[in-house]
Amino acid sequence: MDGIHDIGGMNGFGPMVRDEQVFHAPWERIAFALSSCAEIVGNTDDFRHAIERLDPAFYLGADYYGRWLGALEVRLRERALIDSDEVDQRAGTSDARPRAIASPGLPTRSPDGGPVRVLERRRRFSVGQTVRARDLHPVGHTRLPGYVRGHHGTITMTHPAFVYPDTNAHGWGEDPQYVYAVQFAATDLWGEGDHSVSIDLFEPYLEPA
């Protein structure tokens, strides 16, 4: 989705604030621990997508673990593990109640093990090749940020194959895909800057230049 989380390159967020803390209050620890430990059918990709689907004003207004807490509540509701108003009632408040748009599909099982997979097929691209990040606008989860779409870059590393977030987040299978580090010139992305930006892109995000 073209969501509020896709902020790479956006202007307007102001200066860096050197907040060194991981947690600022006990509820942040609980949000982290429950998100890590709750035994629900799902995976990292659907967790990230639940954060992305939060109402944009909630997303920006919440602290980091406020988003985790909101995503956890949304995921529990969507799995009918809690009633819609159960947290409100138990907490005695509907303040900070998370809202989210629906996902196009939820996972039907929680996978075992990590995300790396071994594929028999060959990679489509190789180091040194110029590629174009496709201008895709999937309605579901994706790890192709807006700021590289349509731009040309150079493959600088080949990585193993990984479970494909665009399907795995939605219960549409693992569909593992090769991943590549693709280097873009800042001047091509933003019209200025002398640096490069390297980003890991799944093979379906790329096309030959």
Which helix (H) or strand (E) is 177 found in, with range? strand 177-185
Report the distance separating Cα 22 and Cα 38, nearest Å: 21
Name the minimum Å distance from CB 123 to other proteins.
15
The single residue among 83, 110, 190, 200 that binds a copy of itself, judged by CB under 8 A, is 190
User: Which residues in 84-113 contact a copy of itself (CB under 8 A)?
Assistant: 99, 101
Q: With CB cut-offs between 5 and 8 Å by kind, which of a copy of itself, other proteins, none does residue 117 bind?
A: none
Residue 11 contacts a copy of itself per CB under 8 A: yes
Q: With CB cut-offs between 5 and 8 Å by kind, which of other proteins, a copy of itself, none does residue 66 bind?
A: other proteins
Query: For tokens 């800042």, what's the residue?
Result: 186
Residue 9 contacts a copy of itself per CB under 8 A: yes
**Residue 80 CB contacts under 8 Å (≥ 6 apart), including other chains:** none
Is residue 42 within 8 A of residue 103, CB to CB? The reply is no
Max intra-chain CA distance, the chain: 58
Q: With CB cut-offs between 5 and 8 Å by kind, which of other proteins, a copy of itself, none does residue 174 bind?
A: none
Residue 24 contacts a copy of itself per CB under 8 A: no
Report the distance separating Cα 166 and Cα 116, nearest Å: 15
Q: With CB cut-offs between 5 and 8 Å by kind, which of a copy of itself, other proteins, none does residue 61 bind?
A: a copy of itself
